[in-house]
Amino acid sequence: MKYVLVTGGVVSGLGKGVTASSIGLILKACGLRVTSIKIDPYLNTDAGTMSPFEHGEVYVLDDGGEVDLDLGNYERFLDIKLTGDNNITTGKIYQSVIDKERRGDYLGKTVQVVPHITDAI
């Protein structure tokens, strides 16, 4: 498995999503199997409750996932179906660790960023 990372910091509107979609389309045209994963640093678990004036429009996936509009570009460019699992947010990662802690999965250990959050990533 190989990965292509497209990054541009937190600056919005640079075209990172369209660039990633275009690279994916080129790779797909070369016969490779591709998918896309968007990683957002915000603490929200999804884009559903974020202000469209601040974050842009929300794209709703077939599984009901409310995600960044870039995932809509990925689906259309690459002719693939994505799920909420293709969108990773810091909030989702923290929520999964907190859920494990609440279930007792850590057996009473002190849950910390290192190693618990970093392991979840």
User: What residue spans define the domains of the chain?
Assistant: 16-120
Dump pLDDT digits (tens) for 50-77: 999 888 899 999 999 999 999 999 999 9
Fold for the domain defined by 16-120: Rossmann fold (3.40.50)
pTM to 2 decimal places: 0.87
Dump pLDDT digits (tens) for 94-105: 999 999 999 999
Dump pLDDT digits (tens) for 76-88: 999 999 999 999 9
Distance set, CA 113 to CA 20, 50, 108 (Å): 29, 25, 16
